[in-house]
Structure 1
Amino acid sequence: MPYTAEHKARTRERIVMAARALFNRHGFEPVSIDQIMARAKLTRGGFYNHFPSKAALYAEAVGSYVDCNPFALRLAQSRRPPPEASKLARMLIERYLSDEVLEDSDQHCPLYALPSDVVRAGPEPQRAYTAVLHSMAGVLRRALPDGCPDADTRVQLIVTLCVGSMVLARATHDPALSKAVRATARKQALALLAA
């Protein structure tokens, strides 16, 4: 008997989540389809029922961050209505630069965890990466008033501060430096949002 569409969707999601965690930890090239399917507790044979290639899965794994990142998950679990745009943007900055997010490598944002891999993986993952970038920028842009003459510049600076500081914090072996870099980025990003 064939599987239901719901079962197939759940299985696909398991594959994507397994792939995301492995790609975040090891990058694109070193991770095999066998490893992904084993982590998802599935056999390799089922992979091609869901994806035409590892690159296609990579693109979906990168793009999935828009809906399954720690910030989006926390909002989804909240029983309260979504906060206003400026509060939402402040929450995003605070959460993005938090110790909790930095320490959970399985949930790292592809913007700071995977940029080199995405460049090498080709156009499909690059499009997914760009969509994640636009999604983050969109949350920030909605927090700035209409008619703000330098809104795009502010958004680009905030994204650069958040992503760049997480790249440095993730790469350094000095915990004090990691905290200082993120604290400085947080302060400047929040100032740009409020200015």
Structure 2
Amino acid sequence: MRYPPGHKAKTREKILEAAGRVFRRQGYHATGVDGVMEEAGLTAGGFYAHFASKQALLAELFEYFRGQFNIKADDQATRTDVRKDLDAFVTRYLGDVHLQKIEEGCPLAALLSEVCRSDDSVKKGFEAMVLDFQRLATTQGPDGQPAFNEEQALATLALCVGGIGLARSVQDGELAGKILESCKQAAQSILDRGETPGFKAKPERKSTA
């Protein structure tokens, strides 16, 4: 059977979309190739025409996520108020909607424990998303100065990813809310004052020349 032009690319994207949903919903290690293809509405036998293995799928999935979440470094040139963007990001990330919608939420939080047990190709894709956020947060503002330093950016991301992951892992809804609020306040203190608790600015090295 002859397929129209672009059919393979569209099918590949359909598999990536399905994998993104099902991996976040029930976990990478708990989901087999059959489960991914069922989610995509395709037969399991067609999987290997697109991906060499389930691990290869996961590695490529993070690149796909980067495009979907629109945080690639190329997009930073259009951002003029990084602080405002990140404040909105923290509020949304550590909110009740994101707490409940694991399937539609951030893959960093949903797949964190899965990635640490995966190979380097998967970790490389995960790391690229972390570095995207870091570059976004340290983008220069209209005054020519970076909004935050690297330590502040990484601390903010760690509070968001760790906070939502911890809140999702407790049974008590009130406790989950306290976790989210605590992390939100800590993250926003970085955004509001440009200060990272526990981090001190490194002194500039004096030239010996």
TM-score by length of structure 2 reads: 0.78
CA spacing shift, 1:83–1:174, aligned 2, 3 Å: farther
Question: Could you report, residue by residue, the CA deviation over 1:68-106 in whole angstroms, capped at 9, with x for unpaired residues?
Answer: 34xx59xxxxxxx86632222122112211211111111
C-alpha distance in structure 2 between counterparts of 1:99 and 1:68, whole Å: 22
Whether the 8 Å CA contact 1:28–1:121 is kept in 2: the answer is no
2:169 partner amino acid: A
Query: For 2:160, which of 162, 166, 176 is the aligned residue?
Result: 162
| SS of aligned partner of 1:92 | helix
Aligned to 1:108: 105
C-alpha distance in structure 1 between counterparts of 2:145 and 2:85, whole Å: 20
2:86 partner amino acid: A
Whether the 8 Å CA contact 2:109–2:165 is kept in 1: the answer is yes
Aligned to 1:34: 34
Is 1:99 aligned to 2:96, yes or no?
Answer: yes
Map 1:64-103 → 2, pairs under 5 A: 64-69=64-69, 72=70, 84-103=81-100
Aligned to 2:44: 44
Whether the 8 Å CA contact 2:163–2:179 is kept in 1: the answer is yes
Q: How many residues align?
A: 186
What displacement does 1:113 show? Answer: 1.6
Provide the identity percentage.
Answer: 31
| SS of aligned partner of 1:107 | coil
CA spacing shift, 1:162–1:149, aligned 2, 3 Å: closer
1:29 partner amino acid: H
The two structures, once aligned, show a CA RMSD in angstroms of 2.5
Aligned to 2:118: 121
Whether the 8 Å CA contact 2:24–2:102 is kept in 1: the answer is yes
Whether the 8 Å CA contact 1:113–1:167 is kept in 2: the answer is yes
Moved more, 160-169 or 138-147: 138-147
Whether the 8 Å CA contact 1:118–1:125 is kept in 2: the answer is yes
Whether the 8 Å CA contact 2:116–2:123 is kept in 1: the answer is yes
C-alpha distance in structure 2 between counterparts of 1:82 and 1:35, whole Å: 39
| SS of aligned partner of 1:64 | helix
Whether the 8 Å CA contact 1:15–1:40 is kept in 2: the answer is yes
Aligned to 1:136: 133
Whether the 8 Å CA contact 2:133–2:153 is kept in 1: the answer is no
Moved more, 31-40 or 115-124: 115-124
What displacement does 1:4 show? Answer: 4.1
C-alpha distance in structure 2 between counterparts of 1:5 and 1:90, whole Å: 43
Structure with larger Rg: 2
Is 1:183 aligned to 2:209, yes or no?
Answer: no
Q: Which residues of structure 2 form unaligned runs of 5+? A: 72-77, 194-209
C-alpha distance in structure 2 between counterparts of 1:167 and 1:187, whole Å: 16
What displacement does 1:148 show? Answer: 6.0
Moved more, 100-109 or 81-90: 81-90
Is 1:62 aligned to 2:59, yes or no?
Answer: no
Whether the 8 Å CA contact 2:137–2:148 is kept in 1: the answer is no
Q: Which residues of structure 1 form unaligned runs of 5+? A: 74-80
